[in-house]
Structure 1
Amino acid sequence: MDRPGSDTVFAGSIPELYDTYLVPLIFEPYAAGLAHRVAARRPSRVLETAAGTGVLTRAMARALPALVDLVATDLNQPMLDRAAAVGTQRPVQWQQADATQLPFDDASFDVVACQFGVMFFPGKARAFSEARRVLRRGGALVFNVWDRIEDNEFADTVTTALARLFPADPPRFMARTPHGYFDREAIAGDLGDAGFSAAPRFETIAARSRALSARVPAVAYCQGTPLRGEIEARCGAGLAEATSVCTAAIAERFGAGPVDAKIQAHIVVVEG
């Protein structure tokens, strides 16, 4: 039995593997678009929650004028350490913070942005409420979430392969958390419970996830996410075998050479 609390643990070698493999595989295709939406609002101060290793932070640092204050936060200090080590082309304030208990004054930001992070918040309405609290009048919360796992083909293939490898207790991290918060009505309901009176605007965008070999996405998912902990907690096959099984499954579906798969996400904008 997996503990949902472990879904937010990004430690050890995970931050480096996540940034090396998973960021270019699935996060970079969406970062520029989200940063463009933030920049189009002409903010003077922006807060990012669940910044991870900084892929959206770097995109916003490029898209926003130098005078715009950019504060990037994450619950996991090892992820922020990796983000700071990679760096940005202009100064960014890196700060550890819990999105459900933000250490910032009321009405202190024009935009709160979050790329693929809200799925990990244990209290989503609480996190949305905190975002609304720190937004200035006329500000906006801008975020994205992954669509259902079936529309994200590498994640689906890995999850299916691991279910065959561990039939008695399939690792379900990918379906449970990253791809477990895609229902528009549920998201709109949580935003309403958080105090947002305006209706959220949704846009569903499909993109392509590409890698030089089938092993790249297998390593990305099996070793660069909390799925790793679920694999290592199981008896029988170890991490290396699980990664090899997922490599073979991806190669069977997408080819033995360079691989190309669909990814899909919802972009959400709600006025504060």
Structure 2
Amino acid sequence: MTERDKVFGGSIPKFYDTLMVPLIFEAYAADLAELVAASSPGSVLETAAGSGVVTRALAPKLCAGARYVVTDLNQPMLDYAAAKQQADSRIEWRQADALDLPFEDASFDVVCCQFGAMFFPNRVAGYVEARRMLRPGGRFVFNVWDRIEENDFAEEVANAVATLFPHDPPRFLARTPHGYHDVALIREELSRAGFSDIEVETREKVSSARSARDAAAAYCLGTPLRNEIEARDASLLQLATDRATKAIANRHGDGPVAGKIQAHVIVAAG
């Protein structure tokens, strides 16, 4: 992962929430919210909250007296998430690094993180911090994307954009969001962080968009892939989106499109 992979500034938060969230994140956010709420936790910490899709799904499921602390390293994303959330006195918004959390030991019943672990510069350190936050019997609930070959639109966009830069193709999608898919490695790193009870379930879902253009724009404009394209040649951003649109339409049609997405859902305790 590069420093540019972590930059969700400018117009990216808006495109991310309006295009990427319904495309690939909402269905998994609903899953994560169900898993977190299943134990009726009195206190929840969310790390790498992004534009707040899990927050919006989980908050209605928590009890009236619950404490819900929502954090993200990226202040623009956190600001966007807070602006989208209905007023709720149970929610505290904090800019925080998941690898250096500003909370006392054993402060939460559940720590959750949707598609954030792939961005941790040191995942074991992030897992150690999550475990430090947990009270006895607490759970760490998170998910990560499976390999890019198991995620149709991501693979098609990456391949299409690569044709514009054959000598230096942007690798953000394969490198970071889809770069941490080895279940054995995930288990090993969680074990190194002190977790002993680790459950991993691979879940396939369907990603849908109103058009191939919407799906392509989601990836090209709503993720740090945009930063990679613009760093090479900002004038080619529109052409990159056009090529990604054509690649998706060639496989999935010119109208509403649907493709496979796949992720690993992990619950760790102990």
Shorter-chain TM-score bucket reads: over 0.9
Aligned to 2:238: 240
How far the C-alpha of 1:66 sits from its partner, in A, is 2.1
Taking the aligned partners of 1:193 and 1:114, their CA distance within structure 2 comes to 19
Say whether the 8 Å CA contact 1:10–1:225 is kept in structure 2: yes
Alignment of 1:1-272 (within 5 A): 4-88=2-86, 90-91=88-89, 92-196=91-195, 198-235=196-233, 238-272=236-270
- Following TM superposition, the consecutive aligned residue runs of length 4 or more in structure 1 with deviations greater than 2 angstroms are 88-91
Which letter does structure 2 place at the counterpart of 1:165? L
Residue aligned with 2:113, SS: strand
Contact 1:75 1:99 in 2 (8 A): yes
Whichever residue aligns with residue 234 of structure 1, its letter is R
For residues 174 and 21 of structure 2, what CA distance do their matches in structure 1 show? 19
* Partner deviation per Cα, 1:7-46 (whole Å, 9 max, x = no partner): 1110000001101100010000111111011011121000
Q: SS at the partner of 1:107?
A: coil
Gap regions ≥5 residues in structure 1: none
Which structure 2 segments of 5+ residues have no match? none
Q: Aligned equivalents of 1:17 and 1:208: distance in 2?
A: 20
Aligned alpha-carbon RMSD (Å): 1.2
Deviations 1:152-178 (A, max 9, x none): 100000011112221111101000000
Distance 2:31 2:62 in 1: 13
The worse-fitting range, judged by mean Cα deviation, of 89-98 and 241-250 is: 89-98
The aligned length equals 269
Greater shift after overlay, 217-226 or 187-196? 187-196
Contact residue 188 and residue 199 of structure 1 kept, 8 A? no
Letter in 1 for 2:43: R
The 8 Å contact of residues 119 and 145 in structure 1, kept in 2 or not, is answered as: yes
Give the fraction of aligned pairs with identical amino acids, expressed as a percent.
Answer: 59
Kindly provide the CA deviation profile for residues 230-266 of structure 1, in whole angstroms up to 9, marking residues without a partner as x: 0011148611111111111111111001000000000
Deviations 1:123-151 (A, max 9, x none): 10000000000100000100000001011
Task: Give, in whole Å, the separation in 2 of the partners of 1:44 and 1:166.
Answer: 50
CA drift at 1:90: 2.9
Other structure's SS at 1:180 match? coil
Deviation at 1:88, TM superposition (A): 3.3
